[in-house]
């Protein structure tokens, strides 16, 4: 069954595994960083970010002693910025509470901020030889096809079931780290969303293949409709090329990143100067807008569960902005990607 084939997979994995930088040694710090990056990012793009991150923060000490803004700066473009904030906080916890030593058991690793079952299983099995099966998207797809499971894989029930199967399989092996990595790698490279089943070592025993159900397994429950939001950024620039930059403080997307003053609206705003919130803003900053020079730039930015309709309201003002930020210094701030693109295209 699967275990016999798994030996074959593991053998193939050991001989043909991708040369990924975090596999060079079993340093838990590096495996941790790679796992957090790869939670939401594909290997090709993730590897570039991983290399950049490790160059800047080669160990727990360097990460813990850095500023949060430096960590966010390296993370720029990867999205889900809470991951970077949690990495930074966890590294400081390790330094203060664990004498700078990375925790060595699943039960301790899972206590780190931002670490769930998947990451704790990966680190504890790869670095410390613990028998914890890793269930990522690749393993879910492989096992649900092999066993013909039709419970929606985004349900807790299916994830529990797959975890139980994984536990039985991993208990029969002698190298849990290789077992987990070979299963993930097999799902990533062979049992892909659109696989070539004819050449797969599992095809004779795979229920999905034999019932011609590969295309419908894994089953996903109905997708939630993406939430639509309308962001209006006030980009006001004075004669000395100064503007206003804020920091996002709500636990929302782009938490702790920078942005221009924002008014969120229920629908697209044609002329921002007519809004009461805008009048309130200009009054609080004691600025007067030159309406003849009003320009707009509108973009659509798609996130995993949200669609953002962003309008940059480009406004000139004749008097100086007090404590403004000069346009040439904008590159020192951590903006989300769509704002960075706007700045690069229009302001600099």
The catalytic site residues sit at: 35
Please state whether the peptide bond connecting residue 187 to the residue before it is cis, i.e. omega within 30 degrees of 0. no
Nearest to 127 by CA among 100, 96, 106: 106
d(CA 290, CA 85): 39
Q: Dihedral sign for Cα 220, 223, 224, 227, please.
A: positive
d(CA 84, CA 98): 20
| N-to-C CA span, the chain | 61
190's CB contacts (< 8 A; 6+ apart) are: 196, 200
Both structure tokens of 32: 């941790």
340's CB contacts (< 8 A; 6+ apart) are: 76
């Amino acid at each position: 069954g699967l275990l016999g084939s798994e030996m074959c997979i593991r053998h193939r994995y050991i001989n043909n595994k991708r040369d990924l930088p975090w596999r060079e040694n079993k340093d838990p710090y590096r495996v941790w960083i790679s796992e957090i990056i790869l939670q939401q990012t594909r290997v090709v793009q993730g590897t570039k970010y991983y290399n950049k991150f490790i160059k800047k923060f080669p160990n727990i000490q360097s990460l813990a002693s850095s500023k949060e803004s430096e960590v966010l700066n390296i993370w720029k473009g990867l999205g889900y910025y809470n991951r970077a904030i949690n990495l930074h906080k966890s590294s400081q916890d390790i330094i203060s509470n664990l004498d700078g030593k990375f925790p060595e058991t699943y039960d301790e690793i899972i206590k780190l901020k931002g670490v769930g079952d998947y990451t704790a299983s990966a680190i504890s099995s790869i670095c410390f030889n613990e028998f914890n099966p890793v269930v990522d998207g690749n393993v879910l797809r492989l096992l649900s096809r092999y066993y013909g499971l039709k419970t929606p894989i985004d349900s807790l029930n299916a994830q529990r079931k797959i975890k139980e199967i994984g536990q039985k399989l991993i208990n029969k092996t002698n190298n849990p780290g290789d077992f987990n990595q070979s299963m993930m790698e097999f799902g990533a490279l062979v049992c892909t969303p659109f696989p070539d089943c004819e050449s797969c070592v599992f095809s004779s025993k795979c229920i999905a293949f034999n019932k011609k159900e590969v295309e419908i397994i894994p089953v996903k429950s109905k997708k939630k409709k993406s939430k639509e939001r309308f962001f209006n950024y006030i980009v006001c620039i004075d004669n000395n090329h100064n503007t206003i930059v804020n920091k996002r403080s709500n636990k929302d997307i782009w938490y702790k990143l920078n942005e221009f003053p924002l008014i969120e609206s229920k629908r697209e705003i044609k002329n921002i100067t007519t809004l009461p919130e805008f009048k309130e803003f200009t009054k609080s900053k004691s600025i007067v807008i030159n309406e003849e020079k009003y320009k707009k730039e509108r973009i659509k930015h798609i996130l995993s569960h949200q669609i953002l309709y962003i309008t940059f309201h480009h406004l000139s003002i004749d008097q100086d902005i007090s404590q403004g930020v000069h346009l040439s210094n904008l590159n020192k701030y951590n903006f989300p990607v769509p704002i960075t693109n706007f700045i690069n295209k229009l302001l600099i």
